[in-house]
Amino acid sequence: MNDLFETEPEMVAILASDATEIDKLSQVYKMIVEKQLEYARGAVELARATGDREALLKEQIKMGMLRNAIEIFAYAYLRVTGKRVNNG
């Protein structure tokens, strides 16, 4: 995944912005996790459509872990900066 998002227009814009480094980190992290969640949602739909229970369970677990990772990051961001992650 090292270079997977490097050319994404959204990432390029974030990195070129005047935001603080910690806010850039937050925005890039959010972008990457949201793209992974989007992929997992598609995989869940596919698994449901094909009746693949094993794949469905795997993707549901993945989505739960990604959501948990968002919450962990938000807590760490709050502890470090004293402010909540901007969800906008």
Q: Any idea what the Cα angle at residue 87 is, between residues 81 and 88, rounded to 5°?
A: 120
Q: Evaluate if pTM is beyond 0.85.
A: no
Residue range 35-45, pLDDT digits in tens: 999 999 999 99
Residue range 49-61, pLDDT digits in tens: 999 999 999 999 9
CA distance 3 to 45: 27
CA distance 63 to 68: 9
Let me know how many helices (H) and strands (E) the chain has, helices first. Answer: 3, 0
* 22: CB partners within 8 A, 6+ apart: 77, 80, 81
CA distance 25 to 34: 14
- Predicted local distance difference test score (pLDDT) of residue 1: 53
